[in-house]
Amino acid sequence: MYFGKPRAHTDSERVPPNQHVTKKFPVLHAGSVPEYPDLNRWNLQVYGLVDQPLLLSFSDLMNYPQTTLGNDIHCVTGWTRLDNEWSGIKTKIIAEAAGVNERARFVMLHAEEGWTANVAIEDFLQDMSLLAHSHDGQALTPEHGYPLRAVFPHLYFWKSAKWLRGIQFTEHNHPGFWEKNGYHMNGNPWEEERFSWD
Ligand SMILES: Nc1nc2c(c(=O)[nH]1)N[C@H]1C(S)=C(S)[C@@H](COP(=O)(O)O)O[C@H]1N2
Ligand SMILES: [Mo]
């Protein structure tokens, strides 16, 4: 037997149960990849239980303080991609700008083609949660959500809506697209909240 090989240093404590690490960046979504020939016609709507609904252009967003954060992506289908770098605006900055009402307990993320994902307000406001326009130093590619996607590092990646167009603050928890199809309302990878019956 050969004992000389040092034990591999792993990132296993960063990998949630039943996930495997990949270096690839798979593309996963329902529907088609939207095209934006003119970014001036893109906007982001912030509405629902807020004092000041917002209609933000891309340059409005870029005028908010910018943050770059590292995180790990955990897809519910089983892959984990470590050490992603995202740049964008912290979600809590947008929530503050809109003056979120204290009755708001949930957030519905609205993407192109009516795709939605729901998150609890604590998850939305978490310090690491971002509205990201860049990944690993480059503008998002069309497949990965150009021009703007949500990033919730502590939840399964399906909650991280690509092609984000609306943020709606609500009192009650409504299921989004995958949640209506059996995915979990919360989606915490450390608790393996994959499906509604988990
Ligand atoms: N608008 C939109 N966002 C979406 C989805 C989608 O179908 N539509 N799929 C989600 C799922 S299931 C995953 S795993 C991630 C995949 O992101 P990626 O393609 O950048 O890896 O996007 C999430 N965001
Ligand atoms: Mo996914």
Tokens found for residue 137: 């130093």
Q: What is the pLDDT along the chain (198 residues), one digit of tens a residue?
A: 444 444 444 567 899 999 999 999 999 999 999 999 999 999 999 999 999 999 999 999 999 999 999 999 999 999 999 999 999 999 999 999 999 999 999 999 999 999 999 999 999 999 999 999 999 999 999 999 999 999 999 999 999 999 999 999 999 999 999 999 999 999 999 999 999 988
Q: What does DSSP say about strands 164-170 and 106-111: parallel, antiparallel, or unpaired?
A: antiparallel
- Does the Cβ of 28 fall within 6 Å of ligand 1? yes
Asked if 68 contacts 85 with a C-beta cutoff of 8 angstroms, the reply is: yes
- What's the predicted TM-score (pTM) here? 0.94
Atom of ligand 1 nearest to the CA of 27: 19
Helix H, strand E, coil C: the string for 67-115 is: EEEEEEEECCCCEEEEEEEEEEEEHHHHHHHHCECCCCCEEEEEEHHHC
Ligand 2 centroid to Cα of residue 156, in Å, is 7
Q: What does DSSP say about strands 44-48 and 106-111: parallel, antiparallel, or unpaired?
A: unpaired
Could you list which residues have their CB under 5 Å from ion ligand 2?
28, 75-76, 158
Burial 6-41 (b: 16+ CB within 10 A, else e): eeeeeeeeebeeebeeeeeeeeebeeeebeeeeeee
Ligand 2 centroid to Cα of residue 146, in Å, is 17
pLDDT of residue 167: 99
Ligand 2 centroid to Cα of residue 79, in Å, is 9
Residue nearest to atom 5 of ligand 1 (CA): 29
Ligand 1 centroid to Cα of residue 26, in Å, is 10
User: Which residues does 91 contact at the CB level (< 8 Å), separation at least 6?
Assistant: 124, 125, 126, 129, 130, 131, 150
What is the number of the ligand closest to the CA of 177?
1
Ligand 1 centroid to Cα of residue 132, in Å, is 13
Domain boundaries defined on the chain? 15-24+39-191
Which of 19, 29, 113 gets mutated to test ligand 1 (max ligand atoms within 8 A of its CB)? 29
Q: In CATH, which superfamily holds the domain spanning 15-24+39-191? A: Oxidoreductase, molybdopterin-binding domain (3.90.420.10)
